[in-house]
Structure 1
Amino acid sequence: MSKKKLWAALAALPLVATLAACSGSAADESAEKGTAENPVKIGVVGASDPYWQTYTEAAADEGITVEIVDFGEYTQPNPALSEGDIDINQFQHVIYLAQYNEASGDDLTPIGATAIYPLGLYSTQYDSVDDIPDGAEVAVPNDESNQARGLLVLQSAGLIELKDGGSVFSTVADVDESASRVKVTALEASLTPTSLPDLAAAIINNDFVEDAGLKASDAIAQDDPADPNAVPYINIFVTKAEDADNEVYNKLVEIYHNSQDVLDGVQETAGGTAQFVDTPAKELQASLDEVVADIKAKG
């Protein structure tokens, strides 16, 4: 799907998340937010993951009542937040939020980070990036989002150089071949693991790593959370813009990072791939603004 079609589809999404999605009785909005009478409603995709119960208990220990609201699709939590059916959501990375805001004309705002789920470079021939010979062929997925991200991983690993430093919209055409160590080929994402015997290495989406008989720990390179290019792929807590400074909501971000039981639960669910980051909200907002500007520039 083209970006224009994606944004149009996002803009046209109906509000499928209603109060019926919420469990329990209606909140007493006159009560203080975070009390049992008026819990903080956090929208997620995958509320059955055990760490959300752990998180709810950790919040209760800090005197904040949280209600986790489950959504079946990624398209649902942002409209629900915009309409006030929930107070916070936590399911998306910065790029997804930028695309939603630009398509809908909304101004939903990140208030805290959670983790990056890395995109990795794998090889069955070489044990490290340094072992890959000059001129070797390396594959990236051909879908727009993962292609750009894969190219940024290759650049961070020192295998390629991208013209103008690269962006979340980079393609294989943006590779500066004269300054790069390897040749890059774009393949359909499901083919990158099966093509490994014929390649020096390949970027493999997390969904296909296990199916390829690999483990996340087999990656010879992956997103570096310290690299500014990785910031748009950080998963985030999001509120309405007017709630960005809400003390209770910001305390809930702190609770996520301060509870080792929560972090352990997230890591178990992620199969050990989560890289936790506590990027300040101002940096997340700056990244969001940059991606939105790039979207506008691309038209």
Structure 2
Amino acid sequence: MKLKQLVVALGASVLAVSASASFAGKLSVAATPVPHAEILEFAKPELAKQGVELDIKVFNDYVQPNLQVFEKQLDVNFFQHQPYLDTFNKDRGTDLVSVGLVHVEPFGIYSRKIKDLAELKDGATVAIPNDPSNGGRALLLLQKAGLITLKDPSNILATARDVAENPRKLKFRELEAATLPRVLEDVDVALINTNYALEAGLVPTTDALLIEGSDSPYANLVAARPDNKDSADVQTLIEVLHSPEVKAFILEKYKGAVVPAF
């Protein structure tokens, strides 16, 4: 090979290697705006230091983030908890998996009539969400409070019909989750999702009579496909999201409305 041809060939090889390397550490992540995209934005500079360029795609729905990861348009997503992912996989025929828990948006028990659950009277009216995922979540929290016992104590899709023991004869009102803050004056207690509590001006850390902890089965997770869940870039993302710096960010920014799950 002549010298000129050798130089051209070597140059082409270097360009090919450089192009390959520039994309080797790029990771696309679907996320909902708050707090998921905010947490990812905080983690982005540290990931860059470790050679991973994070491309955050913000969504306002819960369907496309899973479909686009499944269809390999995006690498991973961060917006959902395991019960939702399980239901989505079953209903849509997908096979996405969790690669790491990040945070819990705590579910709480609120009241305008009592200051402590010990004050709850026999026959009290308790408002809970009427959808399977959140209704079961509410009943699990009431069980944790010692107010009821479920037939299956671990059933995350339990309904009021699954209550085995109700010593205080609590009366359940199953209502749309978004309406629960508005009925606080009409019931003794209501179990409310954090996002709806915040929208109603409630402060979970001070207003909730009882609130979920980091052991909640509803911890939000990063989901990936089976074919990329063990990739170096995905594992680096999880390592950074589980760092002390990210934990401190969550605690400081959200002040208990979002709780680290690691």
Same fold? TM cut 0.5: yes
- Identify the residue that residue 43 of structure 1 maps to in structure 2: 30
Instruction: Measure the CA separation in 1 of the matches of 2:186 and 2:54.
Output: 50
Shift in CA distance, 133/194, structure 1 to aligned 2, threshold 3 Å: same
Shift in CA distance, 81/171, structure 1 to aligned 2, threshold 3 Å: same
Instruction: Measure the CA separation in 2 of the matches of 1:211 and 1:82.
Output: 32
Provide Cα deviations, 1:234-265, integer angstroms capped at 9, x if missing partner: 111111112222233112111012152x4455
Instruction: Measure the CA separation in 2 of the matches of 1:181 and 1:223.
Output: 23
- Identify the residue that residue 221 of structure 1 maps to in structure 2: 210
- Identify the residue that residue 152 of structure 2 maps to in structure 1: 164
Shift in CA distance, 106/213, structure 1 to aligned 2, threshold 3 Å: closer
Shift, 1:270, TM fit: 4.6
- Identify the residue that residue 173 of structure 2 maps to in structure 1: 185
- Identify the residue that residue 8 of structure 2 maps to in structure 1: none
Which shifted more, 215-224 or 243-252?
243-252
Instruction: Measure the CA separation in 1 of the matches of 2:18 and 2:244.
Output: 28
Provide Cα deviations, 1:138-182, integer angstroms capped at 9, x if missing partner: 211222221111111111111111112251221111122444563
Shift in CA distance, 212/82, structure 1 to aligned 2, threshold 3 Å: closer
* Counterpart check, 1:129 vs 2:113: no
Match 1:247 to one of 227, 232, 235: 232
Partner letter of residue 275 of structure 1?
Answer: V
Shift, 1:276, TM fit: 0.8
- Identify the residue that residue 11 of structure 1 maps to in structure 2: none
Provide Cα deviations, 1:8-32, integer angstroms capped at 9, x if missing partner: xxxxxxxxxxxxxxxxxxxx99835
Instruction: Measure the CA separation in 1 of the matches of 2:116 and 2:70.
Output: 46
SS at match of 1:80: helix
Instruction: Measure the CA separation in 1 of the matches of 2:148 and 2:243.
Output: 38
Length-normalised TM-score, structure 2 = 0.81
* Counterpart check, 1:256 vs 2:256: no
- Identify the residue that residue 261 of structure 2 maps to in structure 1: 277
Shift in CA distance, 245/37, structure 1 to aligned 2, threshold 3 Å: closer
- Identify the residue that residue 200 of structure 1 maps to in structure 2: 188
Provide Cα deviations, 1:65-98, integer angstroms capped at 9, x if missing partner: 2222233422111111112122111111111211
- Identify the residue that residue 80 of structure 1 maps to in structure 2: 68
- Identify the residue that residue 138 of structure 1 maps to in structure 2: 126
Shift, 1:108, TM fit: 1.1
Instruction: Measure the CA separation in 1 of the matches of 2:175 and 2:83.
Output: 22
Shift in CA distance, 68/213, structure 1 to aligned 2, threshold 3 Å: closer
Identity %: 31
CA contact (8 A) 1:147 1:170 kept: yes
CA RMSD between the two structures:
2.7
SS at match of 1:176: strand
Instruction: Measure the CA separation in 1 of the matches of 2:51 and 2:250.
Output: 22
Partner letter of residue 210 of structure 2?
Answer: A
Match 2:163 to one of 169, 175, 191: 175
Identify unmatched segments of 5+ residues in structure 2: 1-16
SS at match of 2:20: coil
- Identify the residue that residue 55 of structure 1 maps to in structure 2: 43
SS at match of 1:197: coil
- The structure with the greater share of residues assigned to strand is 2
Shift in CA distance, 179/165, structure 1 to aligned 2, threshold 3 Å: farther
Q: How many residues align?
A: 244
